[in-house]
Amino acid sequence: MDDKARVERATFAAGCFWGVESTFRRIEGVLATMVGYTGGTKSKPTYRQVCSGKTGHAEAVEIVFDPARVRYEQLLDVFWQCHDPTQLNRQGPDTGTNYRSAIFYHSDAQREAAETGKRRRAESKEYRGRTIVTQIVPATTFWRAEESHQQYFEKCGRSYCTERQVWE
């Protein structure tokens, strides 16, 4: 396989997917992003269904990246920085299991990197003794969200959710 054609996927849930997607889109080596729903049981869920909390899905971002230009560990660093992984089923004003913190790994290497990163952060003083509640689970079917949610900030501005500026 040609190195130029080699891409990988990463999937993260870190609260409102609009801000998370916007954060990852700015990273060199990220080739594409898509917001959607994963980790639940309902096929082809809608935004309203996911927000009801009855689907088990999280709002998530699927990232296609070139590992020759950005390492998965660098994406993990951005994931940890762009939300508070100690908040259970919430980020900022958004509450519910659909706003949980989760890493959906696509390979054993991604699982190991995620577990190592979580352990290192838990051992650091970064969260002042608070427990990291981030789930690290296998990636399952990723359901693309409605078109109105894709690249939301580019379409509608940043008035709804705030994002931490971590990669500028």
Q: Can you tell me the distance from the alpha carbon of 60 to that of 138, in angstroms, rounded to the nearest whole number?
A: 14
Looking up tokens 């952060």, which residue turns up?
Answer: 121
Question: Are the CB atoms for 70 and 5 separated by under 8 Å?
Answer: no
One DSSP character per residue, 79-95 reads HHHTS-TTSTTEETTEE
Question: Are the CB atoms for 10 and 2 separated by under 8 Å?
Answer: no
- Catalytic residue numbers read 16
Q: Which of 38, 36, 121 is nearest to 84 (CA)?
A: 121
What are the start-end ranges of the H helices in 7-129? 17-25, 47-51, 72-81, 108-123
